[in-house]
Amino acid sequence: MNDETMITVENLKVHFVTWKGVVKALDGVTFEIRKNETLGLVGETGCGKSVTSLSIMNLIPPTDGTVVEGHIYFENIDMTNPLVNMKKPDVWLKYGRKGKVKLKYNRRRYVKRQEFVNKIRGKKIAMIFQEPMTALNPVLKIGYQLTEPLIYHSKNELAMRILSRIDINNANFSDMVDAVLNNKEDKIKSYLEDPKLKPLMEQLRSIMFRKDLTRLQKSERMNNIRNDKPLNSLERKYLEELVENNGHERFFWRFPIIHRIVFKRIIMEAERKAMELLNLVNIYNADIILKEYPHELSGGMRQRVMIAMALANDPKLLIADEPTTALDVTTQAQILDLMKDLKYRIGSSILFITHDLGVIADIADRVAVMYAGNIVEIGPKDDIFYKPKHPYTQGLLKSIPTNKTMKEKLHVIPGSIPNLVNPPAGCRFHPRCPHAMEICTREKPVMKEIEKDHYVACWLY
């Protein structure tokens, strides 16, 4: 595993304003995700798992709450305040008299921030949402929803795909097909390094990865890949312009009718890529699925479409917010199998949020345990499951029914989750903790490394 970090969350505090008072949903969350790693984030309902992911994505509604403190660093950008030249905040808390708190926001500055973040969302950070029923738009076809992120973010890559497919000469192409079919890794690597040939190589590889075709059918499809309509001079000019200007249209947008004609090529290519994405998530009748509406698909199928959508632009960080909670165990097994498989193929970091410890044991490399807006323990999977240090983690693990606990009673953590409007002072777990000490009621514990890579926020250590 590479020790470079992908995203760093530092002392993140998120407050929501309600008529009952200010809900301190996150109270100083600190963690990092490394490259090519899956971090599992577990916790009970209302502990702030989803709020963490929403604040990374800048998706907290400005009418409800905001990040009040802390930073999220992703590729040298602070996602909590991405516009450096913006002097005033767009959403802020206003403290009035008698302890009244109001949430204010400046619409113009908020829109400015969202416009900036739109370039990152879906391109570099993508998210799989919890309920595929509600996350997909019911009035748009799957094809439209799947091609939307492609057309929005990577017109130049789509243009590259077309050009590299059409411009290649025969000898080179048959060499590439041969390399893919016979899995010559060093040759594939050298082709992937060439920016002009890389898109074509990826297309060929996507056919190679399909599980439903025989070798003969694969080679036939690969050879047919170039049977496109030839480009006319306008289209070629348009595509070359896109590639040169990194996806921006400098010339053609002035002529709407011509633009509409040449833009069709991009849409067709996006559909082609969408079909490859559906093949990637093991949907093989992709051309039919693209023309269907979300309600025509089953739950597992919808979740696959959601995953395909998130993977559309090869994101560097994938946030999966309870992707299997709404599904049955058998479908869940299908999806987890798929995600493990994809992790090796696309090589991105994953933040996997769930409340099911069984799923975490299956998929994560490291685990972070959250309680009432704090991360209480973070460490490698085996350490968390076999050597849990924080009393909450210990209690949580003991309260799951397993084959060991068949005859005896289940362990119970006494009490219930605290109200986050008036959370307990000091350690937020101390009213339920069996080892609570005097200091726990006064001071908030800090994260301490007790073993290599294993951090605990508890005064016991």
Partner 1 sequence: MVEEELIIGRNLKKFFPIKTGLTSRSNIYVKAVNDVDIVIKKGEVVGLVGETGCGKSTLGRLLIRLIEPSGGELYFSPPPEVLNKIKSNQKLSDEELKNYSIFHMHKNKLREMRKKFNIVFQDPYSSLDPRMLIKDIVAEPLFSFGWKKKDAYARVQELLEKVGLPAEFMYRFPHELSGGQRQRVAIARALSLSPEFIVLDEPTSALDVSVQAQVLNLLEDLRKEFNLTMLFITHHILVVRHISDRIMVMYLGKIVESAMKDEIFKDPKHPYTQALLSSVPIPDPRVKIERIILEGDVPSPINPPNGCFFHPRCRYAFEPCGFTTDELIEPLRFVLDNKRNPEMGNAEIQEMNVIDDLNMEVTFNNPVQQGVVESIIQKEKEQTRALYGIKEISVNGNLLKIKMHEPVDPKLKDIGNEHLVACHLVNPPEIK
Helix %, strand %, coil % for the chain, to 5? 45, 20, 35
Question: Alpha-carbon distance 230 to 217, whole Å?
Answer: 24
Question: Counting contacts by CB under 8 A, is residue 409 touching partner 1?
Answer: yes
Helix (H) or strand (E) holding 117: helix 107-118
Structure-token pair, residue 306: 């959601």
Question: Alpha-carbon distance 263 to 239, whole Å?
Answer: 9
Among 19, 169, 329, 438, binds partner 1 (CB under 8 A): 329
Residues 6+ apart with CB under 8 A from 202: 192
- Minimum CB distance to partner 1 smaller for 118 or for 399: 399
3-state secondary structure of 263: helix
Question: Counting contacts by CB under 8 A, is residue 45 touching partner 1?
Answer: yes
To partner 1, the closest distance from the beta carbon of 397 in angstroms equals: 7
Residues 6+ apart with CB under 8 A from 421: 18, 20, 21, 22, 23, 24
Question: Counting contacts by CB under 8 A, is residue 168 touching partner 1?
Answer: no
Among 413, 427, 433, 456, binds partner 1 (CB under 8 A): 413
- In this chain, which stretch among 23-31, 62-70, 201-209, 294-302 interacts with partner 1, using CB under 8 A? 294-302
Question: Alpha-carbon distance 94 to 173, whole Å?
Answer: 63
Question: Counting contacts by CB under 8 A, is residue 362 touching partner 1?
Answer: yes
Question: Counting contacts by CB under 8 A, is residue 357 touching partner 1?
Answer: yes
Which parts of 195-224 interact with partner 1 (CB under 8 A)?
Answer: 214, 216-217, 220
- In this chain, which stretch among 76-84, 85-93, 141-149, 397-405 interacts with partner 1, using CB under 8 A? 397-405
Question: Counting contacts by CB under 8 A, is residue 358 touching partner 1?
Answer: yes
Residues 440-459: x/- map of binding to partner 1 (CB under 8 A)?
--------------------
Question: CB count, 10 Å around CB of 324?
Answer: 24
Among 299, 423, 424, 431, binds partner 1 (CB under 8 A): 299
Question: Counting contacts by CB under 8 A, is residue 181 touching partner 1?
Answer: no
Question: Alpha-carbon distance 201 to 203, whole Å?
Answer: 5
Question: Alpha-carbon distance 457 to 461, whole Å?
Answer: 8
To partner 1, the closest distance from the beta carbon of 384 in angstroms equals: 9
To partner 1, the closest distance from the beta carbon of 439 in angstroms equals: 25
Which parts of 77-106 interact with partner 1 (CB under 8 A)?
Answer: none
Among 267, 361, 447, 460, binds partner 1 (CB under 8 A): 361
- Minimum CB distance to partner 1 smaller for 128 or for 162: 128
Question: Phi and psi dihedrals of 127, rounded to 5?
Answer: -135, 140
Question: Alpha-carbon distance 367 to 360, whole Å?
Answer: 8
Question: Counting contacts by CB under 8 A, is residue 225 touching partner 1?
Answer: no
Burial level of 21, CB count in 10 A (0-12/13-18/19+)?
middle
Among 244, 382, 443, 449, binds partner 1 (CB under 8 A): 382
Residues 330-349: x/- map of binding to partner 1 (CB under 8 A)?
xxxxx-xx------------
**Max alpha carbon distance in the chain (Å)?**
79
- Minimum CB distance to partner 1 smaller for 91 or for 301: 301
Question: Counting contacts by CB under 8 A, is residue 417 touching partner 1?
Answer: yes
To partner 1, the closest distance from the beta carbon of 284 in angstroms equals: 11
Among 101, 111, 410, 437, binds partner 1 (CB under 8 A): 410
* Spatial CA neighbour of 27 closest among 423, 410, 295, 456: 423
Q: DSSP letter string over 35-71?
A: TT-EEEEE--TTSSHHHHHHHHTT-S-TTTEEEEEEE
Residues in the site for partner 1, rule: CB under 8 A? 44-45, 214, 216-217, 220, 298-301, 328-334, 336-337, 355-362, 381-382, 385, 395-397, 399-403, 405-406, 409-413, 416-417
